[in-house]
Amino acid sequence: MTNPTRQEIINAHEALEDMHHIARKTTEKWDEEGITDFWKSLILRALPPKPKPTMAEVEWDDDKHFMAEVEHPVEGKAILIVPSDTDGYIHCFIREGSRVLANELESNSLTPTGKRYTLTEVQE
């Protein structure tokens, strides 16, 4: 069995959606629509899951991405700070033991988790 790349998996999922859409448009009866849905479900079971988008595929938006959590394959969870002056990198906070460090990580290796953090002022 082959080991498809991330882009090949994405392309396969997109091709399946296009084929399913075309097949549904050309069917005239509910039974035929049902069989196209069934075939799609069979193909989806054999395909690896569609990879989540990385920060390289997302346009930076301060309101959405500043202090958002991402997953990195080596560093684990990280917090986005700001895009780097170096193209393709983002400044992030990462935890290393009991310390928090700032580091530049490649945007194509950062997958958003959907979590965001906010800074709050503490009154003492």
Q: What pLDDT, in 10s, does the model give residues 29-40?
A: 656 667 778 888
pTM of the model: 0.71
Strand partners for 100: 95
pLDDT tens digit string along 53-79?
A: 999 999 999 999 999 999 999 999 999
- Which segments of the chain are extended strands (E)? 68-72, 76-83, 89-96, 99-106, 111-116
